[in-house]
Amino acid sequence: MDGGASGSGGGSGSGGSTGSDGAAGAPSDDGGAGGAGGAAPSKDAAPPTDATADTPAGAVSATFDFAKGDNGWTADFSDYSVGQTRAFMELDAKIAALPAELGTSATGFMIQGNNHSDDLFMFFARALGPADGVVANRSYQAAFKVVFASNAEEGCAGIGGAPDALWLKVGATTIQPKVVVQSNMYVMNVDKGAQSNSGPAASVVSTVGNGKPCVDRTSPYVSLTRSHVHPGKVTADATGTLWLLVGTDSGFEGLSRLYYQRIEVTLTPVP
């Protein structure tokens, strides 16, 4: 079915949401898609590396740098009608060169869509398992650091909503987050909340506003860092597998394009 685009080419938080805007350049070392089932990761996906050198006992920590390929993440799209084709929605996701204004020759994981449905969810998912240190049937709390480039200036008027009315969400689930068809709509099989609302599978971090005022609408890309602790807990299944979820929920009824540069995650064991 026409469910989305597949990826190709191939955080440690502290008790709540924090946001820090990076400069318009390459992030510093400290800050910085397919059908209903998603796409298979590329064979040359780089293995994760430690996100932090000092993590709690039993914690699982990993960093995924999209300058090194898709790192096993897959992209997909939900919350639009089966009758709205991929071409009409302008859905795409791939490893691509970062925008020139960031001043780097590195690549990122580009994802875009035109929110004709007024509710488009553009997301990435990845499994972690025993090879990453996840223990079967153990519960964890997930802390994320997401580095991405956005050209959504703040304070602008937009179609249905402002261009920065995309809410970044992160979370973790026991089952694979994927797209299913219900009532002639492509929807998620997990509850990630609607637009600015959080859900058990994903919680709101911030908008994707890049800190630039809406003056001349030049829409420069700016590298941003967002850190967040997902308040719920996730329990690995009997095989020691759980899934990470990162995406944006849109209230802007136009084309949005983001470049994800790096995702860091720390899973801390909880009762």
Which is higher by pLDDT, 9 or 55? 55
Decide: 203 and 231 in contact? Cβ < 8 Å.
Answer: yes
Q: Domain extents for the chain?
A: 17-269
Q: What is the pLDDT of residue 213?
A: 83
- Strands of the 179-182 sheet, one edge to the other: 80-81, 185-188, 179-182
Model confidence pLDDT, tens digit, residues 198-248: 999 999 999 998 988 887 666 789 999 999 999 989 999 999 999 999 999
Model confidence pLDDT, tens digit, residues 135-177: 999 999 999 999 999 998 887 766 555 666 789 999 999 999 9
What value, to the nearest 5°, has the Cα angle with vertex 188 and ends 186 and 190?
A: 165
Cα 55 from chain centroid? 23
End-to-end CA gap in the chain: 41
Q: What is the pLDDT of residue 253?
A: 73
